[in-house]
Amino acid sequence: MDAVLANAARPRKRLSVLPGFGLTMGFSVTYMSLIVFLPLSTLFLMTARLSWDEFWGIVSNDRVLAAYGLSIGGAMVAASVNTIFGVIIAWVLVRYSFPGKKIMDGLVDLPFALPTAVAGIALTAIYAENGWLGQFLAPLGIKAAYSRVGVVIAMILVSLPFVVRTVQPVLEDLDAEIEEAAASLGARRWASFLRVIFPTLLPAILTGMAISFAKAVGEYGSIIFIAGNLPGKTEIAPLLIYLRLEEFNYPAATAIAVGMLAVSFVMLLVINLLQAWTRRSSQT
């Protein structure tokens, strides 16, 4: 209440009492322009040099479509796996106390700190036919390394933290009283989870899932080690861009990238909408 009165009483001019707006804003905009916007603008310039037929010819090629399919399909599977285990991990970290909990909490952020090349070389060593886990999977007829399974495993690793870290704070804020009320009214554990807890968590879960997907769909470093990179089979879209650039075929690289960016921008939009929904539903 005091704050509201203070704000109302304060003349508007006081907003500009602090110095440095021109300097900091000018520096920020210049920096962003030089580092981010200017390089990004080349994408539009290069795309503009392509006719629609040329663009479509590149993008609708079988090899390109297979690569898109693997990147998008693999990312969907990875995001789904991370959603299931992410909710479990967030639940365990918020609701229970057990030895090693702090280590588990810290470990979740490992993918932010671990270089993707290291993740890639490590997963390949584990899942190769003579690897720690690969040797048990091979007799079962499961080829994990150098297959689509390997692509998905690498995607899971790099996008692991996002669902945990979006669900965790919402679960912490969840009012215990609502649950207790539901319980005292005779709701059973599962009913109270499905009717009370799950709907509150849903926006955060979907946000985390979308961020997970966005990260996995563009992933490159860890995947190229484990994928085997067979054209049309285990070749991801970012690798195809890399190969076209290596051949100095900039138009083809640009066209494939524009297709991927379309997916990224849709995801960015979805994530922003979901985050607005998360804020709304956690405020009420």
Partner 1 sequence: MAGGGATLMAGMRARSAAGRVSNQDAIWFKWMLISLAAMFLTLMLVLPLAVVVYEALSRGVGTFWKAAVDKDALAAMRLTLLTVAFAVPLNLAFGVACAWAVAKFRFPGKSFFVTLLDLPFSISPVIAGMIFVLLFGARGVLAGTWVGNWMAENGIKIIFAPPGIVLATIFVTVPFIARELIPLMQAQGREEEEAAISLGATGIKTFLRVTLPNIKWGLLYGVILCNARAMGEFGAVSVVSGHIRGKTNTMPLHVEVLNGEYQFAAAFAIAAILVLMAVLTLVAKSIVEWQAAREFARLANAEGAQ
Which span sits near partner 1 by CB under 8 A: 17-25, 50-58, 62-70, 136-144?
17-25
Q: Is 241 in the site for partner 1 (CB under 8 A)?
A: yes
Secondary structure (3-state) at 100 = coil
Which span sits near partner 1 by CB under 8 A: 39-47, 56-64, 136-144, 198-206?
39-47
Q: Is 242 in the site for partner 1 (CB under 8 A)?
A: yes
Select the residue interacting with partner 1 from 72, 245, 273, 281 (CB under 8 A). Answer: 245
Q: Is 9 in the site for partner 1 (CB under 8 A)?
A: no
Which span sits near partner 1 by CB under 8 A: 54-62, 127-135, 198-206, 227-235?
127-135
Longest dimension (CA), the chain: 76
Q: Is 123 in the site for partner 1 (CB under 8 A)?
A: yes
Tokens of 179: 């649950």
Select the residue interacting with partner 1 from 59, 65, 77, 261 (CB under 8 A). Answer: 261
C-beta of 56 vs 175, nearer to partner 1: 175
Q: Is 108 in the site for partner 1 (CB under 8 A)?
A: yes
Residues of this chain, 164-223, that bind partner 1 according to CB under 8 A: 165, 168-169, 172, 176, 179, 183, 189, 211, 214-215, 217-221
Residue with tokens 């085997």: 228
Q: Is 93 in the site for partner 1 (CB under 8 A)?
A: yes
Least distance in angstroms from the C-beta of 186 to partner 1: 14
Least distance in angstroms from the C-beta of 71 to partner 1: 9
Q: Is 136 in the site for partner 1 (CB under 8 A)?
A: no
- Helices then strands, each counted (H, E), the chain: 17, 0
Q: Is 97 in the site for partner 1 (CB under 8 A)?
A: yes
